[in-house]
Amino acid sequence: MKVLIIGGTGLISTGIVKALKTRGADITVFNRGQTEDRLGEVRHLRGDRNNPAEFEQAIADAGPWDVAIDMICFNATQAESDVRALRGRCGHFI
């Protein structure tokens, strides 16, 4: 299963990544790259979640995924950006 995690380095996100890795998931993490990498072998996409054009292009270039999980969506603008970036590129969105 291919999984995209937007965020991915916080306490909850790290736990999700570890749990998915034990199940053999192919994980891609999108974040700013400012936190020490504690995730091990996952694919990294770097970018600014608050720059919709940059975010959407990075996602468009890297997909598709079976599941996308956004751990850092905090407002309607970011949710709309998720929809634009992930439409047709993921089976399930959380």
Over residues 45-54, the pLDDT tens digits come to 999 989 999 9
60 Cβ contact partners less than 8 Å away, ≥ 6 residues apart: 85, 89
Tokens 């996602």, residue located: 59
Q: Express each pLDDT in 60-88 by its tens digit.
A: 889 899 999 999 999 999 999 999 999 99
Partners of 84 in beta bridges: none
For residue 91, pLDDT beyond 80: yes
Question: What is the value of pTM for the model shown?
Answer: 0.88
- May I ask the CATH class of domain 2-93? alpha beta
- For the chain, the structural domain boundaries read 2-93
Q: Express each pLDDT in 5-22 by its tens digit.
A: 998 777 888 899 999 999
Tokens 């020490």, residue located: 36
